[in-house]
A and B are shown apart, each in its own frame.
Chain A
C-alpha cells in the first residue's frame, strides 16, 4: 500500500457549516453520514458558534458560505445565522425542502433582496417521481417537498434542485432534460439542476456496498489532473465538534483538523474511499 497523496489548502474560499449537526427530520437510505432524528454525533450549532467562525473567516478572506446538516431548517437560529452571514458574504443552504412554510419562504426572500450577496437555496430530490423519491427519503416526503418548492417559488425564489445519481439515468442528457421538464411542472421557470455523486459511506454503504480496497487514491493518479480542483484544496467544514477537511468526511476522526480555522490549514492525506469518488467523479459539493 503506497502512502496517500497530500493535498494542500491552496486558499480557503468555501466554508461549510454542519449547522444542524447530524440531526434530520428524515433518514434517507443513501445518506453518507446517516443523519436522522436520533443521530447526535454532531450537535446543532448555535448562532454564537457560527459567529465565532465567521469572524475568523472574515479575517482570512473566505469567499462563500454553505449550510448543511442534517436539515438546516431544524435549527431555530437558521434565519438569524443567514442574516449574519449575508453581511459578510454569499450563503447557500442545502435543505430537504420539508420545513419551508410560506412565512419562512417570505423571510428568505426578504434576506435575498436585502443583501448585496447572493442567497441560494438548494433542495434535494431523488428520482423522477413520488415512488422513487419516497423509497429513499420515506413515505409522504415527496408531497411535503413539492409544497416547500411551491412556497419558495410563490415567494419569488428560484431554488437549485439537486438530484443524486440514485435517480437512474439522470446523468445522461436525456435524463437531465427529463428532470428539467419535471422542474418546470413545479412552477420553476428558470430550472437550475445539480447532479450529485453518491458516497459509499454511512447509510449508503448498507444500501449499495462499501468501498473496495482498490478504491483509494495514489500519487500517480493525481498526476493526471489538477489536485487544486479538489474541494479540500479550497474549503473546510465546521461542525459542533471542530473543523473538518470537507463536508463528506465528518464521521472520520482522521478528517478532524482542529478547533479553529487557523488549525485547519495543513495539507490533507487523501486516504479514504470517498476521496476516490471526489477525484474520479470530479465532485464538488458547491453549486
Chain B
C-alpha cells in the first residue's frame, strides 16, 4: 500500500497542480494534505477550491485554525521578531484574500487523522501529535523523543509537516516519523523544486520516498509580484533559498542554507 502526503501548500497553486499530476501518474492508495494551505503565495482561495473540487481529505494546520477562528495572527510558533514580522505580512494578505466560506470550511477540517494499513497505525498531524505548531526538525528531534511521541499518541507511523523541511526517521523500536516537507516553498537548498512524500507499507516494512516536483515557479513569482507580496518571498521562489522565517531554524538546518 502506498500513500501520498502533501505538506504545507502556502498558496502555491502551480506546485499543487504539478504535485497532483505527479501523484495521479504514479498511482497511490490514498492522498492527504497536512494543513497550512495558505501563506507566502498569491490568491489563497484557489487552494481550497481545488482541494474541495478533488474531494481530497486532510487536516488543519495552524493557518486553518487561525483563519477559521478569525485570529489576528498565524500562530506559526515563531519567537524572533524578524520571523514574526514576515509571518504577519503573509497572514494578513491571506486573511484578506480568503473567502468567509473557505474560512468556515477550514474550521470543519479535523486536527488529526488516524488510519490503519498493513498492520501499522498511521497518525497524520500538522506540527506534532501534541501541538499543531510544534516544529519537528530533523536535527532537534532525537530518537528517544520521537519514540515517546509515538508511544504517547499510540501511533506506529507519524506523518507531519510545518517545518518546511522533509525527513524520515526509522526508530529503533520499529516505529517511524516522516516529515513530509512542503510544496509551498523550496527546501532551502538552492533548488527551485518542492517536495511531497510517498510512504509505502509492505509486509510490515515502512519506507518513505520524497518526490521532487518541478513546477512553473516563474509564473508563481510573476503573480506574487502583481499582488505586491514581499520581494523576499519572491526571491525564495526563484532561488530556492529561504530569506525569511529563518531564525526558528536549528543550527544544523541554518548552516545548510545561504541566509
Contacts and interface: CB of A to CB of B under 8 A. Distances in A.
Nearest to B131: A228
A119 B145 contact: no
Given A58-B144, A90-B139, A11 B130 contact: yes
Given A118-B250, A120-B250, A158-B255, A61 B140 contact: no
Given A158-B251, A190-B254, A116 B145 contact: no
Interface in B50-106: 79-81
Contacts of A192: 247, 254
A117 B142 contact: yes
A60 interface: yes
B139 A118 contact: yes
A167 B75 CA distance: 29
B108 interface: no
Given A89-B145, A176-B81, A190-B259, A63 B251 contact: no
Contact of B140 (A57, A60, A117): A117
B237 to A, nearest CB: 21
Contacts of B251: 112, 118-120, 158
B252 interface: yes
Nearest to B138: A116
Contact of B145 (A13, A118, A120, A176): A13
A233 B139 CA distance: 23
A274 B150 CA distance: 35
Nearest to A156: B255
Contacts of B139: 90, 116-118
Interface string A142-178: 0000000000000000100000000000000100100
Interface in A160-217: 173, 176, 190, 192-193
Interface residues of A, number: 26
B116 interface: no
Interface string A87-102: 0111000000000000
B141 interface: yes
A62 interface: yes
Chain B at the A interface: SS class: helix
A62 B144 contact: yes
A58 B79 CA distance: 27
A112 B251 CA distance: 9
B156 interface: no
A63 to B, nearest CB: 4
Interface string A103-146: 00000000010001111100000000000000000000000000
A92 B241 CA distance: 26
Interface in A7-35: 11, 13
Given A158-B251, A176-B81, A64 B140 contact: yes
A118 B259 contact: no
A59 interface: yes
B240 to A, nearest CB: 17
Interface string B140-156: 11111101110000000
A234 to B, nearest CB: 11
B145 A62 contact: yes
B144 A88 contact: yes
Contacts of B81: 173, 176
Contacts of B143: 88
A177 B199 CA distance: 44
Contact of A60 (B80, B148, B252): B148
B247 to A, nearest CB: 7
Interface of A: 11, 13, 57-64, 88-90, 112, 116-120, 158, 173, 176, 190, 192-193, 284
Interface of B: 79-81, 130, 137-145, 147-149, 246-247, 250-255, 259
17 contacts: A13-B145, A57-B144, A60-B144, A60-B148, A61-B148, A63-B142, A63-B145, A89-B144, A90-B140, A112-B251, A117-B139, A117-B140, A120-B251, A190-B246, A190-B254, A190-B259, A192-B254
Given A63-B140, A118-B253, 19 more contacts: A57-B144, A59-B144, A60-B144, A60-B148, A61-B145, A63-B142, A64-B140, A88-B142, A88-B143, A89-B144, A116-B139, A118-B139, A118-B252, A119-B252, A120-B251, A158-B254, A176-B81, A190-B246, A192-B247
